[in-house]
Amino acid sequence: MDSNTNKADGLREFQIMRLLVLTGLGQDNPNQCSDSDLFAWSSSTFPIFTSGSLHRGFEEFFHPTEQMMDVLSKKLNDAFLKDSAPPTVYQLETELGIRSGDSSWTRSDLINALRYFSFCSDRFTPEFWVSMTRDAGAPSEANSFFRPFEPKWDASPY
């Protein structure tokens, strides 16, 4: 088989696993999967803080990737641990090269990554998220950080 066939097969397997996670493990039995993991699978955002291994073997199909999530996580952790104001979403867009178009990140990737992190409740405080959107420092999509997790909308397999 050529590499395109293998990639297509891998993507098909990823989509099947995604559907299983979102319908079999998540909405029907919410105790088996965390909100952050359900959101990660729904948005195809790499679940960097997950304790499970369902995502292993599918790393190439997540975007933002594990490496992208690691870079962003370190930026946020540094600001959080220094107890300084975190960068605004617009500042992150500039730092990650989104605004210049010189990046593999998109605004949607960034919002999904930040929303994923916001569901990891033991990582950052609500005040941290409020500070990221201070002084009109974020697009309207960033308001989703403050919305509670709702499987019907946040973890839809469709």
pLDDT < 50: residue spans in the chain:
26, 28, 158
Give 37-71 pLDDT, tens digit per residue. 888 988 999 999 987 777 888 899 999 999 999 99
C-alpha–C-alpha distance, residues 61 and 58, integer Å: 6
At 29 the pLDDT is 54
Rg (CA), the chain: 16
Q: In whole angstroms, how far apart are CA 53 and each of 26, 46, 120, 125?
A: 15, 12, 17, 26
At 5 the pLDDT is 74
Provide the residue ranges of all domains of the chain, joining segments of one domain with +.
Answer: 3-154
